[in-house]
Amino acid sequence: MTGESESDEALLARAARGDGAAFGRLFRAHAGVVHSYCFHRLGSWGEAEDATSVVFLEAWRRRSDAVVVSGSLRSWLLGVATNVMRNQRRAARRYDAALYRLPPARAEPDHADDVVSRLDDERRMRAVLDELAVLDRGMREAVVLVAMEGLTYAEAAVALGIPVGTVRSRLARARGRLKKVRTAADSWDLPAGVAGPTGDLPGQEMARDV
């Protein structure tokens, strides 16, 4: 939901009738979620920002396929983002680079700390992505959507366009493989309760959904 009294569905319908501002409101409402997901897949804030714009351009192109879950386009948008991530170059080629590539932000002295922390984020994210590299693409997508973005099984199923049971089996296999790798590496010391953005443990989220 957008939080401005109108549902995502209504905003999309208005946009389709020629109200560009309505699509702008959808962008404002979901850009954060999409941006976060793109970062979790790409490991770079800058690339994630450009990818976020491409995701919304693609969402506009595919608006007739939009799926609203519980009044929200979030799952569907993350599904569009998943497709964009699968083939970034092809997706980006459809659009003029000026539409999604802004000049880099100026690094001002006051923001030096921010720059450092962003670089640190990227370093940490790359480490996570290295860990996920042992999974195949399907498992990786399911893990990021459920464990990092906090989607329920059903929402992940909508995003990936697969049955809920397939989401469950992919996560189970991913869990098994990660456990195996971590045991072998014997170097993991994870703090308890670290989970997705909602603070819920992924397991609890899943249990609600099944």
Of the residues 21, 97, 184, 185, which one makes contact with another protein according to CB under 8 A: 21
The stretch among 72-80, 85-93, 146-154, 159-167 that binds another protein (CB under 8 A) is 146-154
Q: Does 153 bind another protein (CB under 8 A)?
A: no
Range 96-102 contact pairs with CB under 8 angstroms and sequence separation of 24 or more: 99/53, 99/57, 100/50, 100/53, 100/54, 100/57, 101/50, 102/49, 102/50
Using an 8 Å Cβ cutoff, are 30 and 1 in contact? Answer: no
Of the residues 20, 64, 113, 184, which one makes contact with another protein according to CB under 8 A: 20
Q: Which residue has the tokens 């990021």?
A: 144
Q: Does 15 bind another protein (CB under 8 A)?
A: yes
Task: Collapse the DSSP code of 72 into the 3-class scheme (helix H, G, I; strand E, B; otherwise coil) and give the result.
Answer: strand
Q: Does 120 bind another protein (CB under 8 A)?
A: yes
CA separation for the pair 13, 16 (Å, rounded): 5
Q: Does 39 bind another protein (CB under 8 A)?
A: yes
Tell how many helices (H) and how many strands (E) occur in the chain: 10, 0
Q: Does 133 bind another protein (CB under 8 A)?
A: no
Q: Does 105 bind another protein (CB under 8 A)?
A: yes
CA separation for the pair 87, 145 (Å, rounded): 18
Q: How far is the CB of 161 from another protein (least distance, A)?
A: 21
Q: Return the number of other C-beta atoms located less than 10 Å from residue 25's C-beta.
A: 18
Residues that bind another protein (CB under 8 A): 15, 18, 20-21, 23-24, 27-28, 31-32, 35-36, 39-40, 45, 49, 52-53, 56-57, 60, 95, 98-100, 102, 105, 118, 120-122, 124-125, 127-128, 131, 143, 146-148, 171, 174-176, 178-179, 182, 188-192, 194-195, 197, 201-203
